[in-house]
Structure formats: C-alpha cells, structure tokens
Amino acid sequence: MASRTFRVWRGNADKGDFQTFQVEVDTGMVVLDVLHRIQAREAGDLAVRWNCKAGKCGSCSMEINGKPRLSCMTRMNSFGPDETITVQPLKTFPVIKDLVCDVSWNYKQNKRIARFKPKPRDPDGNYRMFQEDVDRVQEFRKCIECFLCQDVCHVLRDRDRKDAFVGPRFMIRLAGLEMNPLDTDDRIPAIRKEFGSGMCNITRCCTEVCPEHINITDNGIIPLKERVVDRYYDPLAMLGRKLFGIGKRR
C-alpha cells in the first residue's frame, strides 16, 4: 500500500476548484477504485459516473492528468511513484457536478442520423455481404459511446462548433451506415452539409484517445471526406452521374 496525492475537481456549472486528497492505494487499483475510496472515506458526496468497471459502458470518461481517459481502465501503476494525479470532468461538455458532465448533446446528434434503410432481401430471404464489408462496418460498431473522441476534438472543444460539426463519434456512425452495402440511403449530402465533414482537418487526436482502438480518422472520416469530394468536386464523377445516373458510390 502506498499513499498517493489526488487533485479532484469539485463543483458545478457555476463554480468549482480542485480539492486535494491523500489516499492509500493498493496494488492493482485503477483510478476509478481510488475515486471510490475517496467517496467511501473522505467525500461521500463526490459525483462520479460509472457502471461496468470493465471498459465497456463508456460512462467513466474524465480527464486524467490532462488526457481524456476511462478511469476504470487507467491503472495506478501507469503513473510515476511520486506523481500527483489530477482528475477533472470532460471539458467539452457542461459540468453537472464534480466529475459528471451533461453529454446529452451527443444523444441529440445520434437522433439526427437517418436510420439504416436496407435494400430488399435476396429471393431466398437472406441478406448477403462480402466479408470485407462486414469487417469494415464491424470496426465502427465497437464504439462504447464514451465520448472521449468528442471531448478531444478541437472543433468541438476549442472552437465550440457544435453547431457545424457532429464530431468523430458520429462521423464513424455515419461511416458505418454509408459503407454498408445493404443501406440504400444516400447520406453524402447530409454528411457534407448538416454533419459538417469539412470541419475535420484530420489531426487524428480522436483516434489517439479511442479506448476501442477504432481507426476513426483513417478508416472512417477520410473515406467519407473522399466520397464528398467525389460527389461535389470531381468533375469526371459528376459528369458520369449526369450521363449514366451513377448514384451512391461504393
């Protein structure tokens, strides 16, 4: 057992500050365990959101020593023995209390995305896809909605352009639909205009923080941006569509 210094942000939407705790930490603990120990021993009213403690529910997102991370997957032995651990709520979303934010903006974005519109089944009643298409879409479906990527994206975080860009989490949801060969909806106009694909300048910060290791930028956002360019800025593709009615690009 070792004593560690934790600085935990306490407050609400109006005001707040860091409170320092000296905590006894056992071998094998993660940051969420230490926060629970602080709740149990020193600050019973400390607000922390969590559910699974297994890196799968996406609830325990916070900023730990300045990096967006899941507190249940951040092991205490990943810090230096004398390092102070500073814990604060996600910066991109409004604080409700202590480490708990209001992330409801994200759920509103989710509702704006038109649902999957599958083409008719094959005559034998089945749907068929190539395995490579299944694999491609499957990667995007690993998302646990932790919103760490939304938190780190500078378009939402520093520029506060939530009015213009839906953010990386929803770009990959759109990618999962747009790249699904069974989906019949033409999503490119909305990806460009309503969801703001042009706002992303491919910094890859979102990919770096994703706990599910989804290659958000290279596998999701860049292919969507390419499809937008093909549709709106590639003169040959535009001519092809006019002459031959070529629609959704695969």
Q: Is 103 one of the binding residues for ligand SF4 (CB under 6 A)?
A: no
Residue 66 beta carbon to ligand FES: minimum distance, rounded to whole angstroms: 19
Show contacts of 106-111: CB within 8 Å, 24+ apart.
106/145, 106/147, 106/150, 106/167, 106/169, 106/170, 109/166, 109/167, 109/170, 110/170, 110/173
Q: Is 144 one of the binding residues for ligand SF4 (CB under 6 A)?
A: yes
The CA distances from residue 16 to 63, 163, 190, in Å, are 15, 27, 39
Specify whether the CB–CB gap between 185 and 177 falls below 8 A. yes
Residues 48-107 that bind ligand FES (CB under 6 A): 50-53, 55-60, 70, 72
Q: Is 30 one of the binding residues for ligand SF4 (CB under 6 A)?
A: no
* Interacting span for ligand SF4 (CB under 6 A) from 17-25, 39-47, 214-222, 239-247: 214-222
Cα distance between the two ends of the chain = 57
56 interface partner picked from ligand FES, ligand SF4, none, CB below 5 to 8 A per type: ligand FES
**Residues across the chain:** 250
Task: For Cα atoms 17, 19, 24, give the angle at the middle one, nearest 5 degrees.
Answer: 155
How many CB atoms sit inside 10 A of residue 235's CB?
Answer: 7
Q: Is 47 one of the binding residues for ligand FES (CB under 6 A)?
A: no
Residue type, 204: R
Q: Is 35 one of the binding residues for ligand FES (CB under 6 A)?
A: no
Residue 71 beta carbon to ligand FES: minimum distance, rounded to whole angstroms: 6
Residue 146 beta carbon to ligand SF4: minimum distance, rounded to whole angstroms: 4
Residue 245 beta carbon to ligand FES: minimum distance, rounded to whole angstroms: 47
Binding footprint of ligand FES on the chain (CB under 6 A): 50-53, 55-60, 70, 72
